[in-house]
Amino acid sequence: MLDTTRLAYYFPTLSFSFEHDIRTRLQRLHLRARSTFISLQDMSHYPCTSNDIPPILIEPFILRGYRSLNQPWSYYWKSLFHKHNETINVWSHLIGILYIGHLLYYYNQRLKFYENSHSWPFAVSLCTAIIMFMCSVFAHLLHSKSETVHKTCFAIDYIGVSLHGFGSGFLHIYYSAPQWYYDKIEYQYVFILLLLGMLACLSNCFAQYYFCPPYPPLKRICQFLPCGILWIYSVIPLIIGLFPLNFPLDSCSMCHLGQIILFIIGGILFAFDLPQRFCPGALDFIGQGHHLFHLCVYLITLCQMHGVYWDYEKNQKIIDQRSKPHLIFCAGSMICLMLWNIIIVCYFRRYLREKHHVHKK
């Protein structure tokens, strides 16, 4: 218990009780959170259920809150400010864009991106994170217009996932990898990252366009396996730097370990449709696995950027002695991956149009 008498002795001008003030503030915070939650649950929502839309648009164990198909584009843009089963998905990553924009400014003040070429991999990774969040917002907000738009939107989302996986690996190898590992695999590592990024986008687009509801387990294998391989490869520098674990962990090691644990938790929730699998319909608007996965992605990005920045501060003398990375190599590799992914998406879009045309005949 806090000894307010002793505090009053040393600070006699304090005219309020700390205990009372903290208790009051917590009660107000609880009431506001409860009011917000109740308001969200009671807010008018889109009336479509899983019985009213095509199977391709149905999320497993999500029964309500779907938006109508074939509405004007303004209908979907305005849904940003209404309650449906994608509201949390959209806003969680919109907030992510704002947060990464803040980090871009914050780290530019410390690393001087324009002047310090050793900070360019950091800037590239921040840019890929922003693109990933933007692609996700675009996909979750607009995909309900039609089956074709749904496939296109999530193909664009896969571009963002691929880019962020590449940007994460690029960040880890340059700032967090032990020097011996960096010397051994620097350029090969980035080249393999590019290939794995393209494979992740290609495999997800293939699964999205090739398989039809009811989806076989092979669809999820095609989607998650390449992304899992890309993630594992991107965190190898962190794992090498972490183990053997020496407790107590320093701040950057805690961030790296937290990033890995959060990704595993988020991936399990997303892949196995948890927790809505155990209570279908109860978590349609808030609390479903995809919402929690987005929260994990947000926290992963936070841990990643802060942990790597502390690695850079700790190893700055070693990093500054390396050959300076070329801007063309840093930005060019990101742009190269983006262009190849756009070509992949366009190819599958063309395949979908031709398939649709054949069915019409």
List residues forming the annotated binding site: 140, 290, 294
Annotated binding site for Zn(2+): 140, 290, 294
Tokens 């939107």 appear where? 153
Q: What is the 3-state secondary structure (H, E, C) of the chain?
A: CCCHHHHHHHCCCCCCCHHHHHHHHHHHHHHHHHHHHHHHHHCCECCEECCCCCHHHCCCCCCEEECCCCCCHHHHHHHHHCECCCHHHHHHHHHHHHHHHHHHHHHHHHHCCCCCHHHHHHHHHHHHHHHHHHHHHHHHHHHHHCHHHHHHHHHHHHHHHHHHHHHHHHHHHHHCCCHHHHHHHHHHHHHHHHHHHHHHHHHHHHHHHHCCCCCCHHHHHHHHHHHHHHHHHHHHHHHHHHCCCCCCCCHHHHHHHHHHHHHHHHHHHHHCCCCHHHCCCCCCCCCCHHHHHHHHHHHHHHHHHHHHHHHHHHCHHHHHCCCCCCHHHHHHHHHHHHHHHHHHHHHHHHHHHHHHHHHHC
CA 110 to each of CA 57, 115, 122, 130, 284: distance values in angstroms, whole numbers, following the listed order:
45, 11, 12, 19, 42
